Structures are given as C-alpha cells and as structure tokens.
Structure 1
C-alpha cells in the first residue's frame, strides 16, 4: 500500500518534467495529471476537462480539483511550477500525505533549452527525426531573472519543508536517464511496481553541449563568471523570501537606481548622463559594485497606485511575453481587455483590472501576483531584504528629489508615459475608490490621496 495519498512534482519549464511524468505514469497504479494548476491550461494543451472539472470550475475552486486528485484511484498527482495557481501550493506543501518530488536542472541548461523551445515552438519530442534545431542567443539580464525566479521558488519550498518537518525526493535532470534512480523514487513513494526500462515515448530534445547550442557562447561564459556559482547549486535559507529584483537595478556615477516596475520614463536616460550605465547585476556583483564605489547612494521612485495600475494594464495589453496573462484575464475572468485602446474602452478595462487585482493580491486568483502590479510596499520589503535605498523619491517631485540626491547633476526632465489613453481623460471617483481597495496598504503606508494630474 502506498505510503502517500498523493504527490506533487515540483519543477520548472525545461527541467525534464515531461520525461519524469512519463516514468511515473509507467508505474502501475500511479497517475500524473500534467500541469493541473497551470492558469493557461488544464493539465495539457487543448484538454477541456480533468477529473470531471472544467477549467472555469478549477479556477473558481482549485482545492476542489486537488481533492479529486487525492481521491482518484491509485496514487495521483500533478506537476507544479512556480507560476502556477498559488492557492494550492501551501495546502500541498503542508500536507505530509502529499509526497514532494523536487526536480532540478542546471539553470544555464534550462535557460538555453527554454530559449530554443520558444524559438522553435517545439516543447516535447517523441522522435529525433522531427527535431527542430536552432542555436539560442544568451541574454544576461534574461538569464539573471530566470535564475532569480528559480532560486526564489526553491527557497520557498525548502522553508516550507523545514518548518513542517518534511523531506522531499530530489531528482536532477540527468537522473532521468538512470533506471535505478527512478525505481528508487518508486520505492520511496511506496508503490509496488518497478520500471523494467526507461520510457521511450519522449527523447531528450537538445543533447549537445552548451557550446554547440548557444550562438554567443563566449559572451555567456563571461556573464556566468560574474555570478556566484554556489547559488546555482543551492539556495541558502537566509536569502530573501521574495526576490529584490537585483537584475533590474541600474548604476552610474556612484548612484544606484532600484526601480519598482513599471519603470518611470526618463530615469534611465538621466542616469546615463552621469556616466556609463552598469547592468544587469547579480547579488554578488552588486556587493562588489558597492565596495568599489565608497560614498554611493541609491534610490527608488514611488508612483501613485492608480497611475501604476494604469501603466501595468498597458504593459499587460502590449507586451508579447504577457500574452498568456491576457488570455487568462479574458477567458477565465472575463475582463473586457480592449484590442485597440480608446477612452471608451480603457476606462471599464482599468476599473475591472483594479477589481481583479484586489483579489489577486489577496491570493484569490489562479495567476500569481507579478511584480508589475504587486503593491509597492511589498516590493520595497523585497528590496530591503538585500539593500535599503537611501532615498524613496516621489514621482510628482522627482526633479527636486534627484537634485537633492545628486547635487550638480544634470536636471531631470520627466518624459510622458507610453499609454495611448491619458489617465486624466478617464479618471472617475469609482476608479479612485477601486485603486484604494486594490492597494490599501500602499495608501496607508505612503500617505497617498486621490490621484490628481500634475500641474
């Protein structure tokens, strides 16, 4: 009889989770239901129902689907990535009858594999004859963000297991080719069946060394040499529980800018007038920069919450990488997101977005709270776990604040925001009220009043 009632495979994209799922499903009485809590799909692409539940029913009550997975015959589970429905993670981690399988991979390998998959559109491979080959382009800032997301998730998992007195079964990507390890996993799960051979329904897509898969490999080597290599293998428990966003920091002339996304237009250009801009940073390289620049100063900029939500909505509608978020907001939550923005279409979209954010920031939706629209107080707490800014400036008086912080520097000139519909053209009392309800902490913490257009 199995020693667990269910299991969860905790992994990330391009770590080999499809291969491990195939191995688990080859064990008699074991069933992995894919990405059951992926906000953009239900288990697998094009699947409309899972254990009798539709995607909309799952989004309304994800714990009901988890209960069905636990109750299904045999030992059932699913794959869970860091950006899946956050409402089910804590219950799964807290449940000692839910086996935790943690699958990891060298972050450089998973990043390159992800770049190749995005470029080719090929996410699984059953026959090498159909393989699409391409060389990836390494981008340092993108890799730094990828690494930080992985580390943040692993820290959260480690902490949850520590405080609850549990352990997990760790599997590395290369272990997936070791039949003895996979059968060891079966023994740990407490199931009687064993694998006679490795699954043959999937094959490794990109078996070449990194040098053969990356177009700018020398640049990648230089970039990785600037990172703390020990963090690639283990994330210690004193790391911030929410990432401070260090890869997005910019420095020039002894000044360090710690932006709260969406960024304030013109600040990066102003910083460039002080000297060459240094970016991206890792936590290691930022510590080195601080030591090399005695007397350095740092700053961040607060924006009014309503304006910030206005800009976040523009980013959601315009950025190619946020297409899955747009789809979930439209299909799962019915937000009236316009394809072509006008004053008439933007106002109801923004008000609906603010209402949805209130639920999202309280952990009541299937999408994780992205830094793009997270509260500024939470983002500042994340930054503060690594480094505290000398100045928390206000956007409406940024020119004066920067003149005080950097006397003698060129004057800062504000640039217009990129949103095609000005907030002043659509702002209403009900919108102001929705902003207060979505960001009550920010209004209290920073003393914001209702938004008013700057003179």
Structure 2
C-alpha cells in the first residue's frame, strides 16, 4: 500500500507527449497508467480490452466504478490520463481526492496544435518505427486555433483554481522535461515509488522532428495570426516562471561569421563586442543588433552552422559593475534619474 497516494491522474491534452510520459511511468514496476480511461470514444486506448475487469458499457453507465477499481488496484499505484474533454462526471471526485496525485503535463499550444493537425492529416497518432513515418504539413486555421487555445486555457485555469482552493499541489511536467530520466525518477518519488529508471523508454519515436516553419504550409499566415493574439496568453498554464519571452533585441550577430552573442547585463559586453567586430575585420557599427524574432529566425536559416554564445562574469564583479553604473553615479543610466 502506498503511504502517500491511492491513485494518480495525468492532466494533459492531445499531442502533449502524454503517450511517452505514460510509457515511462509504466516502466516502473510499482506504477500502472491505464491510458485515457475516461475518453468518451474509447477506453484506455483505441480497440483496447476492459480495464481491471470494467468494460466500456459499465464505465459509460457509471464511470465511478472504473475510478474505484483504479483506486483499489493492489499490485501497483493505478492512474490514468485525463484531458479537458473527457468524462466530466469524474472530474469533481478526482480533484477533491487528496489521495489522488495530480500530474500536470503541458506543451506550447502552437506546437501541440500543429502536431494535432499533422496527425489528423496522416492518421498516425503514435510512431514506434521511423520506417513507417508518414509526413504531412499542417494548415494553420486561426479561428480553429483560437478556439483550441481558449478551451485549453479555460480548463487549465479551472484546474489551477481547484487545486489552490483545496490546498493541493501538483507535479508539473513540461513537454521538454519528458526527455529527462531525472525528472521521471523525481516524478516516481513524488508518487511514493522508490524504484528508479536507468534510461527512458525508446519505443516511441518523435513524429515531427523538423522545425515548425517546415511543418506548416501557411507559416507566414500563422505568424500574422499569432501576432494578433495576446502572446502572454499563449502559455497561460500553471508554471512557476515569469511569463516573458527571450530578449531577442539585445542579441548581437556577427557581420559575416555565424556567431550571435547573448549579452548578460553588467557582463564584459564592450570587450566581447569589440572582439566580435574584429573577428570579421569590421567596425562595431557593422554588427547586427535590435533583431526581431522573425529577423532572428531568418538569420538562422541563412546562416548554417551558426552558434549562439554568452560570456559569464564572476557575480561579485557583475554586482560591482552594476553598483558603479547605476547606483554610485548620478549621470545617464543611474537609478536616481
């Protein structure tokens, strides 16, 4: 018997990497994830067998029977994946149950939408053999994406609020975290399972590894549509980082070499910029700065083999530089102005 939890739920959405997360959870002997147990169209997985002796007809009539079976599983900690459009009759029971561990898996909604559109076009929702890979481009539909984003955000905000008001916390996993065996082992410890994995599951393959610009047939149209949206809402899912984008206008690209410098304030900026200009034998004015994200993408595409870098300065030296520039002085750039 698990001292921490009786069951768990993975709150996720389509094309967020939930199949891969489940495969790694099921690699632990003490964990059993039963797929999309409350998907209204199938049970667990398409064309799958009953779960713990409960068939789909029984579940559809009374979903809490299946929930009780998963909670009562004796040989492992039972759980399932739950999406925003799954059976709402079990949501309240799940969210109120403090003995049910909550895992929240998120992915950039643009990436998940594009992946979903490609899967719709190819009919390929999982890939275990790269030889069987099907390739297609997504067609971005602004109205459809807006509705998709709105549904995801409303569910995530509801989920966050319910956890907050009931005094619970969840284990948050981003799509990018799925490639970390350390994160998977940390998740197991959160669930109360002491077993550790040596490596991640290798059966599932990433279906669309190319950059998003190559995956969308109307990419420029997509960029225009996204520019009209509130960009801060694009990632409005529970997280613990400030919602900000990269400070691209501060990046400085070499005149001809494939190098781009990412400055850190109060670092050795002047020395690095002088070196970067001297590298191509040009004055500092020839360096490219104040790039937009679009211009940065264009520069990367036109500069094969490019490399980005920064230069660190000792924290004490950075603090001293900032003190001299902004506090000690009363001139331009000081905090007294």
Q: Taking structure 1 as the reference length, what is the TM-score of the superposition?
A: 0.51
Q: Does 1:97 align with 2:112?
A: no
Equivalent residue for 1:369? none
Task: From 169, 173, 178, give the equivalent of 2:180.
Answer: 178
* Structure 1 contact 2–191 (Cα < 8 Å) conserved: no
Tell me by how many angstroms 1:130 deviates.
0.9
Equivalent residue for 1:334? none
Closer, same or farther: CA 173–2 of 1 in aligned 2, 3 Å: farther
Equivalent residue for 2:85? 83
* Structure 1 contact 70–76 (Cα < 8 Å) conserved: yes
Which consecutive unaligned segments of at least 5 residues does structure 2 have? Answer: 239-337
SS at match of 2:88: coil
Task: From 202, 206, 210, give the equivalent of 1:200.
Answer: 202
Equivalent residue for 1:276? none
SS at match of 1:87: helix
* Structure 1 contact 2–189 (Cα < 8 Å) conserved: no
SS at match of 1:53: coil
Tell me by how many angstroms 1:7 deviates.
0.2
Determine the C-alpha separation between the residues in 1 that align with 2:123 and 2:213. 22
Tell me by how many angstroms 1:20 deviates.
0.2
Tell me by how many angstroms 1:102 deviates.
0.4
Tell me by how many angstroms 1:235 deviates.
5.0
Equivalent residue for 1:52? 53
Closer, same or farther: CA 235–30 of 1 in aligned 2, 3 Å: closer
User: Over aligned residue pairs, what C-alpha RMSD do you find?
Assistant: 1.1
Tell me by how many angstroms 1:48 deviates.
3.9
Equivalent residue for 1:279? none
Task: From 144, 168, 171, give the equivalent of 2:170.
Answer: 168
Which consecutive unaligned segments of at least 5 residues does structure 1 have? Answer: 237-455
Determine the C-alpha separation between the residues in 1 that align with 2:151 and 2:130. 31
Closer, same or farther: CA 112–49 of 1 in aligned 2, 3 Å: same
Matches within 5 A, 1:124-203: 124-203=126-205
SS at match of 2:202: coil
Q: Give the number of equivalent residue pairs.
A: 236
Runs of 4+ that moved beyond 6 A: none
Equivalent residue for 1:210? 212
Matches within 5 A, 1:251-262: none
SS at match of 2:102: strand
Equivalent residue for 2:297? none
Determine the C-alpha separation between the residues in 2 that align with 1:149 and 1:177. 27
Equivalent residue for 2:44? 43
Determine the C-alpha separation between the residues in 1 that align with 2:236 and 2:190. 23
Matches within 5 A, 1:366-381: none
Q: Taking structure 2 as the reference length, what is the TM-score of the superposition?
A: 0.69
1:245-264 deviations in whole A, cap 9, x for unaligned? xxxxxxxxxxxxxxxxxxxx
Tell me by how many angstroms 1:67 deviates.
0.3
Tell me by how many angstroms 1:46 deviates.
0.9
SS at match of 2:87: coil
Task: From 218, 224, 232, give the equivalent of 2:234.
Answer: 232
* Structure 2 contact 106–237 (Cα < 8 Å) conserved: no
Tell me by how many angstroms 1:94 deviates.
0.5
Determine the C-alpha separation between the residues in 1 that align with 2:191 and 2:17. 19
Tell me by how many angstroms 1:180 deviates.
1.1
Equivalent residue for 1:116? 118
Determine the C-alpha separation between the residues in 1 that align with 2:49 and 2:186. 34
Determine the C-alpha separation between the residues in 1 that align with 2:62 and 2:120. 31
